[in-house]
Amino acid sequence: MADGYDDSNRAFLQAFMGRSSMTFEEAQPVLAAIFTAQKEENVDPNDVTQEHLSSYIDAANTAISPFDLEIRSLLHQTPKQADQENNDSPPTRVYALVNTTCDPLTQLATTYSADEIAFVKRLLDFMFDTNNTRICEGMVITPMQSLNLRSSAEANRRRSTNATQQTQGGATQSLTITQAENMMKHLVEEGWLEKSRKDFFSLTPRALMELRGWLISEYNDEMESGRRMNRIKFCSACKDLITVGQRCEDRDCLGRLHDHCMRSFFRMQRAEQCPVCKKDWPGDKFVGERAVTSASRRQTNARQAPAPAAPNGDASSSEDASGEEEEG
């Protein structure tokens, strides 16, 4: 190894490998314990700086690069506080140990069975295909929806796909309800999924870093017309993958912004315009969980709205005009 790589570096790498991901705040007590053992004097976690962490990550990446591993970082797209729309707290940077070459789904085969891997693939298909449309870019899944995907036959029955896709996966690729619930629990514990306050599952920053290339190749397809279907989109400011944020009002425009990027981007541009088409930025067109919840609220309000009275004042002659659901 290069000069300077010592037992403290090995201890940090061991600690990192024992976790699925780590933030700076989580790394501070780890490095403080390492420094305490190294210097034989107590080191306060608050004395550990970002420079310390960056130095140890750089040394670790040099050591593990021959094994096709790398510690990468990504800003968490979801604010810490419950009020996501008005939260001005800075985003949290998440560090994760990812494999740089192998198919991430293949990696899971070392831990999970073929049926469980097929279940994970159905989860991803639901999140980034079924629940990621031109109308609503949700990219999340509820516990009940995940249980409905425990059987490949059940998943195919619920999806609107072509005949070739419907025949993929045998009827044996199924789990019991208990197995599916345990699988979701394990995916959360291992840092692949996280659950929101409103009971939606989404991919963690670690999963997005690990699956980035696979998601793009799997869900951004070239259509027969020659037009590319971009289900995986990117923030126009930081150019990173976006699953939480806001979008342009024009559904055909690729303008998307993370919440934390949007504030600084508009401050620099001095105008709240779409970074792609330059139209006024709506501020109420969402990507992620809020796309689902806001669409549900609009549909509920539309159903509860009173029907307009007929011209002759006879309300009974008018059907419920609000029955048609508004697009999300």
- Nearest CA-CA partner of 76 in 84, 86, 68: 84
pLDDT by residue (tens digit) across 252-265? 999 999 998 998 89
Q: Does the pLDDT value for residue 90 go beyond 70?
A: yes
**Same domain for 193 and 214:** yes
Q: What separation in angstroms does the CA of 113 have from each of 175, 184, 189, 300, 309?
A: 11, 14, 18, 41, 60
**Same domain for 214 and 120:** yes
Look up tokens 């249980």; give the residue: 147
CA 252 to chain CA centroid, Å, is 22
72, β-bridge pairs: 96
Domain closes at, from 207, 227, 247: 227
Q: Which of 157-161, 166-170, 234-238, 301-305 has the lowest mean pLDDT?
A: 166-170
Is 297 part of any domain? yes
The whole-model pTM stands at 0.78
- What are the two backbone dihedrals, phi and then psi, of residue 24, each rounded to the nearest 5 degrees? -60, -40
**Same domain for 249 and 216:** no
pLDDT, average across residues 161-181 = 64
**Same domain for 166 and 116:** yes
Residue 303: what pLDDT? 64
Mean of pLDDT over the chain:
82
pLDDT by residue (tens digit) across 196-223? 999 999 999 999 998 998 899 899 876 5
**Same domain for 171 and 67:** no
Q: Does the pLDDT value for residue 1 go beyond 50?
A: no
Q: Does the pLDDT value for residue 74 go beyond 80?
A: yes
Q: Does the pLDDT value for residue 319 go beyond 50?
A: no
Confidence of residue 328 (pLDDT cuts 50, 70, 90): very low
Residue 20: what pLDDT? 78
**DSSP H stretches of helix in 22-148:** 24-39, 50-64, 104-108, 114-125, 143-148
Count up the domains in the chain and report the number: 3
Residue 161: what pLDDT? 46
Which CATH number covers residue 77?
3.90.1150.220
Q: Which of 26-35, 143-152, 155-164, 304-313 has the lowest mean pLDDT?
A: 155-164
Is 141 part of any domain? yes
Look up tokens 């002659």; give the residue: 317
Confidence of residue 168 (pLDDT cuts 50, 70, 90): very low
**Same domain for 218 and 121:** yes
Residue 228: what pLDDT? 59
- Asked if 128 and 136 touch (Cβ cutoff 8 Å), the reply is no
Burial per residue of 74-104, b for 16 or more beta-carbon CB atoms within 10 angstroms, e otherwise: bbbbbbeeeebeeeeeebbebbbbbeeeeeb
pLDDT by residue (tens digit) across 111-141? 788 899 999 999 999 999 999 998 899 999 9
pLDDT by residue (tens digit) across 18-60? 887 899 999 999 999 999 998 888 999 999 999 999 999 999 9
Q: Residue 158, Cβ neighbours under 10 Å: how many? A: 14
Residue 112: what pLDDT? 85
Residue 152: what pLDDT? 78
Residue 170: what pLDDT? 42
**Same domain for 210 and 115:** yes
**Same domain for 295 and 211:** no
